[in-house]
């Protein structure tokens, strides 16, 4: 492991740039003495109890650099579990970097995630909670924050630990039956253990199911705008972003590449992608754009297939069969059909049935009305997108596995557990069943970090910010 736990470390914990305050963290056995060497009130700092704030100046020899407040933490009551000082100074990046330079003469710069790594090593957090710290910092929307906070509070860890304990209990019952087979022990109640293992398997299955939704909160729900050139994809993109980022022109074929932006719909992180229009073309650049569009459509969580009255006059609105499940069909430019307000669903449907487009709409396809020029012209589309995400209402106590590493571990555990159940069914030897259970336990234990490897830790903590 590249982290050396005995050094005293420091880093600026607040973002670069001008701000009201800047916080510099120092952690390690020498943290308090390191700061005292450059502080105007060294004795006061050295004697300060935990959670005490000491006011003074950071000085380079006689030269005063900044007026600060040093907040002292005493081991083990700190974020890292070590002695720590948080120096709050003025938020001038030049001052912060001068203070940092001074501190670096007697301690070293922290690596990304090193403070949290120490918290993990000192049992202040388990691995799932440490990862939640990073998720919480990077969460893009309110719902993602709730999920990360729930994980940080240890809800996931508690549930995983309980499942590990139950699995371990079952495993021990099998092992005891092997070890003491020749003794007069009551026989193992296979039905009962089997039932317990099935319950655990069901719970793990449920967690995997919810995992897809958890992934949405972390990685966003990708929504791809597709359709013929000029139907208004870029205009819809802009309406959603409420800014003019994409180029909108009446000339077909202007969006040759794709654009993507994040937005929050009802607290869900959405990755909205504006693509090149799909049409037959001889233009090489446009062709590349169209290939890219097809690739994006394949990967997207939801595809919005836009048409407009002009396009519908000439073609049918028919989603690609391969993606029909994840496609929403939208008729844009509803204003051109004489609507000056987005119609209600019933009004819209009766309009469509009696309109010239009736024959152009494939059976079982619903066309959602939309207009980028009407007030609330994208309201119905917005509702439909959110309803497609279909996540349960999140409470801070909801356990939603959001992390790919955790999901992979659950999947491995579940597969070993299913093997164990299969072994019970075919009356395999108890040693085989116990072996599968050991595998199931060790996979789950990786989530909380009860079992780790250096590579795994390196990978996890290197994605953190410096200072965290
Ligand atoms: N009347 C009307 N015109 C629209 C609407 N949405 C887009 N347009 C116009 O349609 C043209 C093509 O729009 P654009 O967003 O560039 O289409 P794209 O090629 O699909 O990205 C532009 O002139 C837009 O102003 C709409 O809802 N109503
Ligand atoms: Mg466009």
Q: Higher confidence at residue 214 or residue 114?
A: 114
Please give the backbone phi and psi of residue 273, each rounded to the nearest 5 degrees, phi first: -120, 125
- For residue 306, the ligand closest to its alpha carbon is 1
Which of 224, 248, 331 gets mutated to test ligand 1 (max ligand atoms within 8 A of its CB)? 248
- Please name the fold of domain 9-125: Gyrase A; domain 2 (3.30.1360)
pLDDT of residue 292: 81
Which of 230, 231, 232 gets mutated to test ligand 1 (max ligand atoms within 8 A of its CB)? 232
Cα(404) to ligand 2 centroid in Å equals 33
Give Cβ neighbours of residue 322 (< 8 Å, ≥ 6 apart): none
Cα(239) to ligand 1 centroid in Å equals 11
Domain ranges of the chain: 9-125, 134-216+398-449, 220-370
Whole-angstrom distance, CA of residue 263 vs CA of residue 141: 9
Cα(259) to ligand 2 centroid in Å equals 9
Cα(207) to ligand 2 centroid in Å equals 39
- Around ligand 1, the residues with Cβ closer than 6 Å are 229-235, 248-250, 255, 277, 332-333, 335-336, 371-373
| 443, pLDDT greater than 70 | yes
pLDDT of residue 248: 52
Cα(196) to ligand 2 centroid in Å equals 56
Nearest CA to ligand 1 atom 2: 333
pLDDT of residue 309: 95
pLDDT of residue 252: 56
Q: pLDDT tens-digit profile of 166-213?
A: 999 999 999 988 877 777 767 788 999 999 999 999 999 989 888 877
Nearest to 87 by CA among 75, 76, 103, 74: 103
pTM, 2 dp: 0.71
- Cα dihedral 338, 238, 325, 323, rounded to 10, equals 110
Please give the backbone phi and psi of residue 162, each rounded to the nearest 5 degrees, phi first: -65, -40
DSSP 395: -
Atom of ligand 1 nearest to the CA of 306: 20
| 3-state secondary structure labels for all residues of 153-217 | CCHHHHHHHHHHHHHHHHHHHHHHHHHCCCCCCCCCCHHHHHHHHHHHHHHHHHHHHHHHHHHHH
Of 3.90.420.10, 3.60.15.10, 1.20.120.430, 3.40.50.300, which CATH number belongs to 134-216+398-449?
A: 1.20.120.430
Cα(227) to ligand 2 centroid in Å equals 10
pLDDT of residue 464: 83
- For residue 235, the ligand closest to its alpha carbon is 1
| 244, pLDDT greater than 50 | no
pLDDT of residue 65: 97
- For residue 377, the ligand closest to its alpha carbon is 1
| β partners of residue 331 | 307, 369
Q: pLDDT tens-digit profile of 326-345?
A: 999 999 999 999 999 999 88
Cα(369) to ligand 1 centroid in Å equals 14
> Mean per-residue pLDDT for 51-58?
98
Atom of ligand 1 nearest to the CA of 229: 19
Of 3.40.50.300, 3.40.50.1860, 3.40.50.12500, 3.40.50.1110, which CATH number belongs to 220-370?
A: 3.40.50.300
Give Cβ neighbours of residue 314 (< 8 Å, ≥ 6 apart): none
> Mean per-residue pLDDT for 364-375?
92
pLDDT of residue 117: 94
As a whole number, the mean pLDDT across the chain is 89
pLDDT of residue 463: 81
């Amino acid at each position: 492991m590249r982290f050396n736990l005995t050094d005293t470390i420091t880093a600026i914990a607040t973002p670069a740039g001008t701000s009201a305050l800047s916080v510099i963290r120092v952690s390690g056995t020498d943290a308090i003495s390191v700061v005292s060497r450059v502080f105007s009130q060294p004795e006061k700092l050295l004697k300060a109890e935990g959670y005490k704030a000491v006011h003074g100046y950071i000085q380079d020899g006689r030269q005063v650099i900044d007026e600060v407040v040093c907040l002292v933490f005493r081991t083990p009551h700190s974020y890292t579990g070590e002695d720590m000082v948080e120096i709050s100074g003025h938020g001038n990046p030049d001052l912060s970097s001068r203070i940092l330079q001074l501190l670096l003469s007697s301690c070293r710069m922290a690596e990304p995630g090193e403070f949290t790594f120490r918290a993990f090593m000192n049992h202040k957090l388990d691995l799932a909670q440490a990862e939640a710290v990073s998720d919480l910092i990077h969460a893009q929307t309110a719902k993602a924050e709730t999920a990360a906070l729930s994980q940080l509070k240890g809800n996931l860890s508690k549930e995983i630990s309980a499942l590990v304990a139950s699995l371990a209990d079952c495993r021990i019952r099998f092992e005891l039956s092997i070890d003491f087979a020749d003794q007069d022990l009551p026989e193992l109640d296979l039905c009962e253990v089997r039932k317990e293992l099935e319950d655990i398997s069901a719970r793990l299955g449920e967690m995997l199911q919810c995992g897809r939704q958890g992934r949405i909160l972390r990685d966003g729900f990708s929504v791809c705008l597709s359709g013929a050139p000029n139907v208004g994809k870029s205009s819809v993109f802009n309406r959603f972003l409420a800014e003019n980022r994409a180029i909108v022109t009446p000339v077909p074929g202007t969006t040759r590449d794709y654009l993507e932006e994040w937005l929050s719909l009802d607290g869900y992180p959405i990755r909205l992608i504006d693509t090149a229009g799909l049409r037959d073309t001889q233009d090489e650049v446009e062709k590349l754009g169209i290939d890219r569009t097809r690739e994006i459509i394949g990967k997207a969580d939801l595809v919005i297939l836009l048409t407009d009255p002009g396009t519908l006059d000439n073609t049918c609105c028919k989603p690609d069969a391969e993606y029909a499940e994840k496609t929403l069909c939208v008729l844009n430019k509803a204003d051109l059909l004489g609507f000056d307000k987005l119609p209600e669903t019933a009004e819209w449907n009766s309009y469509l049935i009696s309109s010239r487009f009736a024959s152009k709409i494939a059976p079982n396809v619903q066309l959602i009305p939309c207009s980028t020029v009407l007030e609330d012209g994208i309201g119905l589309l917005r509702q439909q997108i959110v309803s497609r995400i279909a996540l349960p209402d999140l409470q801070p106590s909801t356990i939603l596995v959001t992390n790919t590493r955790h999901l992979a571990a659950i999947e491995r555990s579940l597969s070993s557990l299913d093997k164990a159940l299969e072994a019970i069914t075919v009356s395999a030897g108890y040693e085989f069943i116990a072996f599968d259970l050991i595998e199931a336990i060790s996979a789950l234990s990786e989530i909380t970090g009860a079992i780790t490897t250096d590579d795994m830790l390196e990978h996890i903590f290197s994605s953190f910010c410096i200072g965290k």
